[in-house]
Structure 1
């Protein structure tokens, strides 16, 4: 069912950390996030697991007092309402913005990590047997130390493409959108933080938010 109330979908997994970067973004040329001066923004996470939903929403809400978790307003008693009724709830609660995140795709990639050779040279510089006397025990020990080879291997990683949108309820339109790519995702909270940091950095870059 389509949600005209503009929902926030965040990828949720188990574990610790991710590598997140901006892939693409767009902003309304006539208005910026800073100009809107949001005072109350709805944050909604749609996942099957209610505990995970609340964990993610709480994580985002903890970053700023203007963010409000959706489970306080949009729950089992309100999701069946019409889009007009849902919008009225937001208006009655004085919301002026909504931030949404949507999982666009999940892709697996296999990359080859080459092996490495570890060996100790003996004598002087660059392994040349010149002037070895007086250079210390390390040079002599290298003559007898074995060489080690760490074989290469294939590593499978999963990439998550997440679309983040910022809507103005006052203007009733989208004013910013961006897509991030997250890899090595293992922790819910850290991934949410990484996405938010990447989005804020991009907004400062394109003028949606003032630079530091």
Structure 2
């Protein structure tokens, strides 16, 4: 287990401020990620765009040598194989785990952002400073308060729901799954960091991995 735990710890160290939160998770009551002690894990990113798939898989694989990109093993050359044949390829390559990641949905939300009135910070100095025409500095500044008002506005935010699954090939079953919600997707690499950081914290909470 130390191999996969170290990988997630690397994500923790690489990630700073997060725009990602956990929506839900589930773990097999009989099998934890810790118990599996994975040594070779296939990373499968299920997206239509091949470039995005490779960027995301490469990002995860770069963290720890136990992670291998799926496009190296499951690609156009064996696309027509049956699921059993594909599974046999993974067994022949000594894979003991699979992590899949897919975009479940993309949702837009519109929120109202209230305006700000910074003039309140400039009206309380009364007679503390004798400015022009006998006005205190605060009173003089306050006459221009409209210049310091920012009107409110509506802001549209796009949220990406991503499902991540962890499979045990030795037991041939799903042992953990989690769905995350991310916003402001401008950099795929940073978003992957945030997702993995959020998932790792949830895995600890679920008792599927042990914090080191």
What range describes the TM-score normalised by the shorter chain of this pair? 0.7 to 0.9
Match in the other structure for 2:139: 143
The residue correspondences of 1:1-212 to structure 2 (distance < 5 A) are 19-119=19-119, 120-123=122-125, 129=126, 132=128, 140-145=136-141, 146-147=144-145, 148-212=148-212
CA distance in 2, matches of 1:53, 1:163: 15
- C-alpha separation in 1, matches of 2:157 and 2:92: 45
Name the CA distance, whole Å, in 1 between partners of 2:45 and 2:88: 20
Which segments of 5 or more consecutive residues in structure 1 lack a partner in the other structure? 1-16, 124-128
Equivalent residues of 2:46, 2:100 under 8 A apart: no
CA distance in 2, matches of 1:55, 1:103: 15
Give 1:51 shift.
2.4
1:140 positional shift: 3.8
Residues 46 and 103 in structure 2, CA contact (< 8 A), matched pair in contact too:
no
Deviation at 1:203, TM superposition (A): 0.5
What is the CA–CA distance in structure 2 between the aligned matches of 1:71 and 1:180, rounded to whole Å?
24
Question: Alignment partner of 1:45: what SS?
Answer: strand
Conservation of the 8 A alpha-carbon contact between 1:98 and 1:169: yes
Q: Deviations over 1:130-158 (max 9, x none)?
A: x6369xxxx94322112121000000001
The SS at the match of 1:142 is helix
Q: Which runs of 4+ in 1 moved over 6 A?
A: none
Q: What is the distance in 2 between the residues matched to 1:140 and 1:54?
A: 64
**The structure with more helix, counted as a fraction of residues:** 2
d(CA) in 2 for partners of 1:167, 1:133: 71
Q: 1:18 deviation in Å?
A: 6.2
Q: CA deviation at 1:85?
A: 0.9
